[in-house]
Structure 1
C-alpha cells in the first residue's frame, strides 16, 4: 500500500502531484529523507528523489520523482547502457595506417594516410608503434604527403549547448574520429600544460606541454616571483591553439597544471604521428610535402593498424572518471554502427531508442548530448531509477555495475568520482553510483544495500542550487544504507 508521508511537508510548494510519497513499509526511511531535504542549502532549489526496490522496481519513496530535471553526468547512465547493448562489451575502435603508393628502394612513392575510427585512447606511444612497424616494413622515406582521415564521423566537433567558457578545457574537448590523449585517463583531444617556477626570479615560468606537439602554441606572460600566493591562469584562446599563461608563480610553489582542449584534434593526432615518424628515422622527401586532412582512397593498402581496448575495459575510465569525450565518441560510434552516420543526431537517436526498449518513458525525457554537459537535457529521477532497475536483467549488467564509482574507495579506477565521499560504514564500498555536476546542478544515482541486506536503487537530482549540495546527496545515500525495517 502507498501512503502519503505527511511529516515535514510544510516546506513544499503547492502542485498537482504528491510531493512526497512512500510505502508504509518504508515510511521511516521516508521521514529520514524528508528531514534531510529541509536543509537550508536546498532553499530555492528543486530536488527530485526516487527510490525503488531493485528486485521489483516498485517505488518506495518519491519526492518530485516525476519532475523533469537536468541530470548532468547522470546522462552517462543512459549512454553507457546504450553502448553496451548496441556495440557490445567486446567492441573495439580501430586506427589504420594506409598508403596508395608502392615501396621502391625504401622510399614510399606516394602518400601516407592515418585513418581514425573514433579511438579515444590513442597515446604518443601508439604513434611510435605505428612508425616502428613502418620501419620494419622497410620504409625509410616518404615521397608524398602525410594525410589524416577523420571522415569516419561528421565534421561537427562540439555537441549542442557547449559554452564558450568551457571549450578551452578537456571536459569540453572537440570530438573527432582521429584524436589523441595525453595519458592513460584518456582525456581525448587534450594536452596537459604545466607551469613551473623558473630558477631565476623575474623570469617567465617554465612551461611544459605533454605530449609535446607543435599544434599548440604557448604564449607565456607569466612571471616567477620570490614569494607570495600563486596566481596563474592557463587558458586556450577561442578558435585557436594559442594557450595563454598569465600571472605569477612563486619560487618553491606547487606546479599549476591544466588539461587544455585542442582546437581541431585531428591535426593534433597527425602531428604526434609525424613526430613519431621523424624519431624513427623516416623522412619526407620531394617538393614541399604537406601534413593535411583528406580521405584515404578505397584502394589504399593497409600497412599497420591498432585495435583499442574493449568497451568493457573503456567503461572504467569512462564512467569512474566521468569522461565526457568518451560519452560523445560512443554516441557518434553508435550512430555510425546502427545508421551508417557518425553524427550526434543519429547517436542520440540510438540512445533514445535503447532507453525506450529498457522501458523509459521517452515523452518525459529530453536528450541533447551523451555526456550530460548540456543544461537542456531533462529527465525525471523516477526514469533514472527505472533505467537502473531495468539494466539488471541485461547480460552486460555486471560491466555496467562495475563501471560505477564506489563510495570511499581510494583507488581512482575503483572509487572514481566517489573516492573521497562516504568513506565510512555503512556506505564505504556499498554505495555504487554515478555522480553528476554542472553549474547549479548536482546528481547522484545508483545502488545501495540496506542494513537488512536489501538492494535499493536511488536517484537524487538537484537543480538550481547555489551551495555545495553533495553532502545532502551523501546523507540520503547513507540513510538508505543505514535503513532497517
Structure 2
C-alpha cells in the first residue's frame, strides 16, 4: 500500500513536467519542419505569472514581427493617451457672411481621427453622413454662396503619413494608406474593373468610388485564369496624381473591385465637401485646396461651425487589433508622439514606443521599429521581447479584449472553433511576404496562463499551409492536440 501511494505521488508530480517536455518537443518539431529548412524561426512560450520559460526555439533571435507589432503600439496608446481619449475634427469658416455669401474660406481642420467616415466601423457615420453634417452646418449658418474655397487642413500630423521603409508595392493599396491629420473614408477608394472572358486580355478600368480628385489611373492588368483570384496591385505615391495597376484579375463577365489608398486625403475631403455643397446649391468661387498649398485655418481668425468627435480610444484599439488596420495603428503612433511632445515633422518616428517599452523595465537592445503597424520590412525584435512585453500587459483586461480570440472574434473567429484552443487562446496575427507570426495569450492544459510568440521569417512554404501548422502549434500550447 505504501509503495502504491509513493508511485501515485510521483506520477502527480511528474505530470506537469511531462506536459512541458511534450510541448517543447512539439515546438522543436514545428521549428525543424523540413519545409522550413533555411527559414528563420523563433518561438517563446512563458508562464505569465512566474516568467518561467515553458518551451522555446531560438527565443532571442531578432525577427520581423509584421502586424504583431500592433499589440505594442496599441498598448502604448492605451497607457499614454488613456481609454477615453478621442480625436476631433472641426469645420470652421474665415471671413464674414454677407447676405448669404461667405467672403472667406471653409476649413476642415483634422485632428488625426482615423475613423472619420469609416465605411466599416460600427457606430461611425459614413462619409456621406459626415459630408451632409458639414453641409447642413454651413446651411444653418446662412451660407448660400462661398466667395472662396473649401480647404482641407491635415497639418496636425504633418506630411509624413507613411513610413520610409514601406514597400513601393504597398503604398497604392488600401492597406498602405498613410495616416494624416485629416483622414476620411479610411483614406481608401474602390476601383471598379470590368472582367474580360479571355485569358491574357486587359480588363477595363471603370472608375473609382468615391471619386478621387486629380487621380489618373493607367491599367497594365491582364486577365488570369478562372479562380486565380485578386492578384492586382496599385502603384502610387503619397500626394501623387498618377497610379498604375499591375497584375491580374480572373476572367469573367462581372465587375471586379479592388481597393486603393487615397494619395491626398486632405484634398479628397475638401473636394468631397465642395461637391456635396454644390448638390445643395451652395457654390464656391474657387476650387478646393489643402493646407499644403494655401495654408491652414488653424491660426486664422475663424468661427467654429461643427466639431465632430471620434469614438473613444478603446473602440479604436479594438478595431486596430481585431481587423489589423495599418491606418489606425499609424494614427495611434502619431498621437502618442503628439502627447509626448514630439515635433510634428518627427511624428512618424518610433522613439516614443521604444522609450515606453523601457519604462516597463524591458530591454530594447537589438530591437528596431520603423512604424506603428508592422508593414515596414525592417522592423525586428525577438520572440523573447514580445513575451516579456505581453507579461507586463497581462492585467490590462480592457486592452486584452482587442486581441482576436480563437473561434470567437476578429481574425481568429473562424480558426480552431472546435479545438482545445477555442475561447482559450487570444492571438494577433502578422504576415508579410515570406513572414508569418502570431503572438498573444493562451491557457495551458494545467490552467496556467501563458504568453507566446511564434515568428517565422524568410520561408518559402505556402502561406496557408504554414498558417495551419502554426494554428496546430497554438492548439498544442492550450493542451493535447485532438486526433
Q: Is the 8 A contact 1:83 1:334 kept in 2?
A: yes
Counterpart of 1:155 in structure 2 is 159
Counterpart of 1:11 in structure 2 is none
Matched, 1:470 2:467: yes
* Separation (CA, whole Å) in 2 of partners of 1:90 and 1:193: 36
1:27-426 equivalences under 5 Å are 27-123=21-117, 124-125=127-128, 126-181=130-185, 188-197=186-195, 205=204, 207-219=206-218, 233=232, 235-238=234-237, 240-244=240-244, 250-253=251-254, 255-285=255-285, 288-293=286-291, 294-296=295-297, 297-344=299-346, 348-393=350-395, 397-409=396-408, 414-416=409-411, 418-426=412-420
Counterpart of 2:8 in structure 1 is none
Go from structure 1 to structure 2 and tell me whether the alpha carbon gap of 1:206 and 1:127 turns closer, same or farther (over 3 Å shift): same
Counterpart of 1:12 in structure 2 is none
- TM-superposed CA distance for 1:229, in Å, is 7.7
Q: Deviations over 1:62-89 (max 9, x none)?
A: 2111111111111111101110001111
- TM-superposed CA distance for 1:341, in Å, is 2.5
* Separation (CA, whole Å) in 2 of partners of 1:344 and 1:420: 39
Where 1:212 maps in the other structure, the secondary structure is coil
Q: Is the 8 A contact 2:420 2:479 kept in 1?
A: yes
Go from structure 1 to structure 2 and tell me whether the alpha carbon gap of 1:218 and 1:45 turns closer, same or farther (over 3 Å shift): closer
Go from structure 1 to structure 2 and tell me whether the alpha carbon gap of 1:189 and 1:231 turns closer, same or farther (over 3 Å shift): closer
Q: Deviations over 1:190-219 (max 9, x none)?
A: 2111224599xx997472522233343344
Counterpart of 1:457 in structure 2 is 451
Q: Which stretch of the first structure deviates more once superposed, 53-62 or 227-236?
A: 227-236
Counterpart of 1:482 in structure 2 is 479
Q: Is the 8 A contact 1:389 1:457 kept in 2?
A: yes
Match for 2:424 among 403, 424, 430?
Answer: 430
* Separation (CA, whole Å) in 1 of partners of 2:228 and 2:475: 38
Q: Is the 8 A contact 1:339 1:346 kept in 2?
A: no
- TM-superposed CA distance for 1:161, in Å, is 0.8
* Separation (CA, whole Å) in 2 of partners of 1:331 and 1:228: 39
Go from structure 1 to structure 2 and tell me whether the alpha carbon gap of 1:347 and 1:309 turns closer, same or farther (over 3 Å shift): farther
> Unmatched 5+ residue regions in structure 1?
1-21, 182-187
Go from structure 1 to structure 2 and tell me whether the alpha carbon gap of 1:386 and 1:195 turns closer, same or farther (over 3 Å shift): same
Q: Deviations over 1:131-188 (max 9, x none)?
A: 112112221111112222121112223213112122111121122111212xxxxxx2
Count how many residue pairs are aligned between Structure 1 and Structure 2: 444
Where 1:258 maps in the other structure, the secondary structure is strand
> Unmatched 5+ residue regions in structure 2?
1-15, 118-126
* Separation (CA, whole Å) in 1 of partners of 2:162 and 2:390: 28
* Separation (CA, whole Å) in 1 of partners of 2:329 and 2:196: 39
* Separation (CA, whole Å) in 2 of partners of 1:168 and 1:237: 4
Q: Deviations over 1:73-129 (max 9, x none)?
A: 111111011100011111111111112211121111111111111111122221221
* Separation (CA, whole Å) in 2 of partners of 1:300 and 1:311: 28
Q: Is the 8 A contact 2:173 2:233 kept in 1?
A: no
TM superposition score normalised by structure 1: 0.83
Q: Which stretch of the first structure deviates more once superposed, 456-465 or 344-353?
A: 344-353
Go from structure 1 to structure 2 and tell me whether the alpha carbon gap of 1:421 and 1:215 turns closer, same or farther (over 3 Å shift): farther
Q: Is the 8 A contact 2:194 2:203 kept in 1?
A: no
Q: Is the 8 A contact 2:271 2:288 kept in 1?
A: no
TM superposition score normalised by structure 2: 0.84
* Separation (CA, whole Å) in 2 of partners of 1:248 and 1:116: 36
Go from structure 1 to structure 2 and tell me whether the alpha carbon gap of 1:36 and 1:114 turns closer, same or farther (over 3 Å shift): same
- TM-superposed CA distance for 1:369, in Å, is 1.1
* Separation (CA, whole Å) in 2 of partners of 1:59 and 1:350: 29
Go from structure 1 to structure 2 and tell me whether the alpha carbon gap of 1:325 and 1:101 turns closer, same or farther (over 3 Å shift): same
Q: CA RMSD in A?
A: 2.9
Q: Which stretch of the first structure deviates more once superposed, 307-316 or 150-159?
A: 150-159
